[in-house]
Every structure is written in C-alpha cells, then in structure tokens.
Structure 1
Amino acid sequence: MFTFPIGLFQQLSNNNNFSTKLLLHFDGVNNSSTFADSANNLPVFISGNTIISTVQNKFGGSSGYFDGNSSYIYVDSNEFNFGTSDFTIEAFIYLEELGKFGHTIFSKLLNNQYSRYAFYIDYTDKINFIQQDDFGNTVFALTSLSTIVLQTWTHVAVSRSGNNFYLFVDGVLEVSNNNNIAISGTNGTFKIGALDPSNPPYDMYFHGYIDEFRVSSSAIYTNNFIPPTGAFDS
C-alpha cells in the first residue's frame, strides 16, 4: 500500500485549508491598488500608497508593497474576533528596513483605542504576538528567539490550539505558551501593515513586502513544519 511521505502530506495540508477566513495572494499588475480576498471575497480597503509590486515576490510574480509611511490595508469584518477558538495567521514577509521602532504585520483593535491584538517586528528585529487590555497593558505576549533577516523572504505564523499558543519563524517553533485568554472585541478593523495609524510612533507602519497572507479558523501548525513551497490553494 502506498503511503505519503510525512513531509509531502504536511505540505498538502498546509496549502489546502478549508477553514480559511482571509487569503491575500497579492497577485496583479505592477502598481495596482486592487487587493482581492481569494477566500470569502471580503472587501479590502487601502490607506496611503499600498500597491501591488512585481519588484519582489515569493510566489505568483507579485506581492504587496508597504512603504512604511502611512500605508496599510484593512478589512472590516467580525471574522477576526476569535474568542477562545483556534486560529492561525501567517504570511511571507520581506523587510526593507531593520532597527525601526516597529513593523506591524497585522493588528486589530478590540474594545477601545488601547485594546488590541497584534503581530509585529520590534526594534530588536524580533517577532511578537501580543494582546493588550482596555488600558493598553500587555496581558499576553509571545516573542521569537531569532531575529528577522533584512531583504529575505521569511515565513511567519502564530496559531492557537485550545489554550496553547505557538509562534513560528520559517517553520520552526520559536516559543509557545498556555493561556485561556479570549481574543475578541466589538471595535476596530483588521489591519495589515499598521498598528495605530492615529498615534505615532505607535503607527508602526510595515516597510517592505508581504505575500500569501492567510487567516484560518483552525490550528494549522502546532509543531515544526515545512514552510509552504507554493501559493496557497485555499
């Protein structure tokens, strides 16, 4: 009887995910300002000069370019209030600048202007996933052990399975933690490329390229894995 090699089976599972809530391939012509969600056709809105660029890409010939100066995209949907449910958020990123106050991969306000969850690169070039309460206090945090390499495509992911949280860099489990915290709230859009645009320096605009951004309502990764080798099918 034929048996799939473990790595191949894992890769097929990673690329095909039927719990996808948002999928951005960032495909298109150079300098386009049209961004399409390939999962559920959620409207994607633009702020600043975010564009499709063919200068860099991981897959598909193009990616999203964020200039680090007032540019981001956002989705207005309740799909990203996870509560205590499982989820995975992942992307390929390519930084054009290190040592910045912060580069936000994604963020979402929860109940007011201070409470949010976010996935970002800090001034030490490490990746963080945090949640802040209504007073801006960080009540939960995961921080990578490794640092991001300049101008190199890197796969990053954060996932939750039950009360276990996991943070991955290029398929390697960097840190995990157990917490029963609920990630939900009534306010705010889901932003890609910015933290708090109205409050510099905490705007933390991303400077670089993002490709294959996916949000799923399942815990796709809980152990080391092979990063995707092609565009996500779903």
Structure 2
Amino acid sequence: MAIEWDKNTLLLLHGDSFSDSSYYNVQITNNGSQVSTVQSRFGGTSFYFDGASCIFHDSVWSKIASADFTIDWWEYATQQTNGPRYSSLYGIGQEYGGMMLGYSGELGYCSSVLTQQWDIFSGIKVLDVDVGTWVHRAIIRNGNTLYSYKNGSLFLKTSMSGTIYNDSSHRSAIGKYREGEPDTCFIGYIDEFRISDVARWTEDFTPPTESYKPYIESEEPETGLIPEPSPGDEPVEPSEFSSKLNWSVSDYLNHDDLTRIERNCKILNDKLREYGYIAPIDFRKWSSGEYPTTIQLERIRSNINALQDAWFAVPEWRELMAVYRPDGYETINAEQVNAQEWDLQQMHDYLKAMVAAFELKQAGTPFMIAGGIYNAG
C-alpha cells in the first residue's frame, strides 16, 4: 500500500545496502564499492570507494535538469584524490556532460550539451577535500543560483542558468566521472547520499544529526485529543461510523482515511463509556501531507487493542502488527489496514447487536421506560 512519503526525495542511499530507500525505488547497481563497518556517520556502516569503484543509479535528472534540486551527503576522504563525488551523467568512452562535482578534488563542471563543452559553469571550486574526518556536503540549485555548503556553512554561491544535459540511457555515478579513467574515482567513505527536487537550504544550517528518512515527520499534538480544525478545514463530526474493508496494494492511504479510523475509535470509545467500559486511548485529526510516524502507528494499534481489552474478546479478531520495509523503517500495508478496519467494524457490529438484544428483552419494563441502559450507572 502506498502512503504519504517525502516525494521530494528522488534518491536516498543510507550506506547500509545497495538499494534506494526513496518512494521511487530507483535502480541501483554497485560497481566494486563495499558496505563497510570501518567508518560510519550513522547506523554503523557506509559505502567505501577504493579509487576504482563507484555506484551507478538510473538517472533522475529529467525531473530536475532545469529545476531546483539538492544533492547532499556525508563523506570521509581517506586521501587527497582527483575523483569526483558525483556525476549526473556517466560518460561512455570519451563522452562527458551533465554535472560533475569534485573533479581534481574540488572543481565542478556543468553542461547543457554532451561531449562538446562545459557551458553552464566550468572549473568552479564547489567543495574541497578534508582527509580523515566526516564532512557534510550540499550542492543546491535555487532558481538561477547555485549554492555549496560545507558542514552547514556557505562555501560557494554563484549564478547558474540553463538546462543540465540529461539522457535516460546514461546512468549517474557516485564516486566516478566516466569509464576508462581510473584516476577519476573518489577514495574514501560516503554515507546518507540523497538527491531532492527542492532547494532544501539557501541559508546556513545545522547538518543532520541522524540518518535521513524517506518521509516527513509530523509534529505531535500537544494533547491526545483531536485538535480543533484549522480555518477552512471541514470539521470531523464523530457521529457516523464508516469502514472500508477491501484495501488492496494499489490503494492510497491518505489523511482522510487516518482521520476516519481515529473517528471510529472515538465513536466506539464514547459508546462503551456510556456502558461503563473505560479504555485508555487518545485521538487526533490528520492533515493533508502528514505521514504516520512509528509512534503514531503504534498509538493507533494500541487504541484499537485497548477498546477490545476494556470490553470483551471479539470473535474473529485480527492481530494488529508492526510492518517493516526492507530498510528497517516501519510502514503499513493493505493487510494491516484491513485488519484495523475489520476489528473496529466487528466491535461496532457486536456492540450494536448487544444493545439491540438488550433493548428488545427489556422493552416495556420500568427500567427501559426510565431510560434503560442509556441512563444506567
């Protein structure tokens, strides 16, 4: 099941495997690099480049060749090297073009044409080489301006206009420029390599203190209650119970679906409280663009389980479990959303049947005439 990712991240490599962790699942091909435990910025591993190796990825540059972008990563150079950190278009034979970052250790080149000239900028010092220490690098285009940052501080600001040459038949390369030139490879370690289709920074910033995530963290509400709707939002009325019981892998879970599941929990909780069943749960409303973090996914599961624990063991209950991506991040799939919807619907149906049976049995008695179970307790 697709959920709301940070779709501005076009490529994300954590340094722990040769697979893309972004929403787009870009094809990655290793060319002699290693996942190493010798050096790491986050997570205990990073990619090691020995001076002859590189990592290829299918080009993402058709999306950003003439638009804003950010390329950022952590590097640990083990020696001074001529090798570039990145080439947006890996040259075959004597071809060159696209964008190259770090040739001769520090210079950047960028072209709008292949194999002819570096005509956007040429030989600009876009970064430097620091041996034996971790350094955060960021190369950013915002409009017609190119920025380079080192450890969050501005290193270069220069004009940049035009469309960077891109060709989907050519892969991009991390750690190398083009084939047949062994002296054009980076030597050292790279961790948390990311390409984005937005300008993430245009002023000095604090470098990331943890590994990147492929989604946007949403702020936790100050209380566990559903917050008041923002101006222009339609209020969510917790009065109508509704479910979707046929989620498939092609469905998209959005903020309205999350709010509906939360609302169903609240409806059941309010009704059970009328009958003296108290469940320790809380609720919230979701907004467009919010992504359910690990904490929020656990909270929703706990809410549903708490409703059953406070009442009784509902027949045909489906177990609610955490689901993880191959890269270790928690997500949610169609099976688990169906389980959540099913469990809530089962509780709703059994509660409705229980109340109906009780009302039928007690119909006409003084107890029911006086208000019955709705006034009980």
TM-score, normalised to structure 2, is 0.50
Partner of 1:158: 139
CA apart distance, 1:136: 4.4
Contact 1:63–1:209 (CA under 8 A) maintained in structure 2: yes
Q: Output the CA distance in 2 between the equivalents of 1:75 and 1:118.
A: 15
- The answer to whether residue 27 in structure 2 is matched with residue 43 in structure 1 is yes
Partner of 2:118: 138
Q: Deviations over 1:20-54 (max 9, x none)?
A: 00000012xxxxxx41110022121011x211000
Q: Of residues 173, 181, 185 in structure 2, which corresponds to 1:191? A: 173
Contact 2:78–2:188 (CA under 8 A) maintained in structure 1: yes
AA matched with 2:37: T
Mapping for residues 54-203 of structure 1, pairs under 5 Å: 54-69=37-52, 71-77=53-59, 79-81=60-62, 82-98=64-80, 100=81, 102-109=82-89, 113-122=95-104, 125-126=105-106, 128-132=107-111, 133-139=113-119, 140-141=121-122, 142-144=124-126, 147-186=128-167, 187-198=169-180, 200=181
CA apart distance, 1:174: 1.2
Q: Structure 1: which 5+ residue stretches go unaligned?
A: 1-15, 28-33
Q: For residue 84 of structure 2, give the secondary structure of its aligned residue in structure 1.
A: strand
Contact 1:94–1:210 (CA under 8 A) maintained in structure 2: yes
Q: Of residues 210, 222, 228 in structure 1, which corresponds to 2:190? A: 210
Q: For residue 138 of structure 1, give the secondary structure of its aligned residue in structure 2.
A: coil
Identical counterparts, % of pairs? 32
Q: Output the CA distance in 1 between the equivalents of 2:103 and 2:66.
A: 24
Q: Output the CA distance in 2 between the equivalents of 1:207 and 1:136.
A: 28
Q: Deviations over 1:46-99 (max 9, x none)?
A: 11x211000000001000011112x1110123x22322210000100011111x
CA apart distance, 1:135: 4.0
Contact 2:101–2:108 (CA under 8 A) maintained in structure 1: yes
Partner of 1:30: none
Q: Structure 2: which 5+ residue stretches go unaligned?
A: 215-377
Q: Output the CA distance in 1 between the equivalents of 2:145 and 2:54.
A: 30
Q: Output the CA distance in 1 between the equivalents of 2:142 and 2:213.
A: 23
Larger strand fraction of residues: 1
Q: Deviations over 1:85-120 (max 9, x none)?
A: 10000100011111x3x1221102289812231111
Q: Output the CA distance in 2 between the equivalents of 1:164 and 1:212.
A: 24
Q: Output the CA distance in 2 between the equivalents of 1:161 and 1:147.
A: 22
Q: Output the CA distance in 2 between the equivalents of 1:230 and 1:92.
A: 11
Contact 2:90–2:177 (CA under 8 A) maintained in structure 1: no
CA apart distance, 1:169: 1.0
Contact 1:129–1:158 (CA under 8 A) maintained in structure 2: no
Partner of 2:212: 232
Contact 1:111–1:185 (CA under 8 A) maintained in structure 2: no
Q: For residue 83 of structure 2, give the secondary structure of its aligned residue in structure 1.
A: strand
Judged with a 3 Å threshold, the aligned counterparts in structure 2 of structure 1 residues 84 and 62 are, in CA distance, closer, same or farther, namely: same
CA apart distance, 1:175: 1.2
Partner of 1:11: none
TM-score, normalised to structure 1, is 0.79
Q: Which has the higher contact order (CA 8 A, sep 6+)?
A: 1
Contact 2:90–2:173 (CA under 8 A) maintained in structure 1: no
Q: For residue 226 of structure 1, give the secondary structure of its aligned residue in structure 2.
A: coil
Partner of 1:8: none
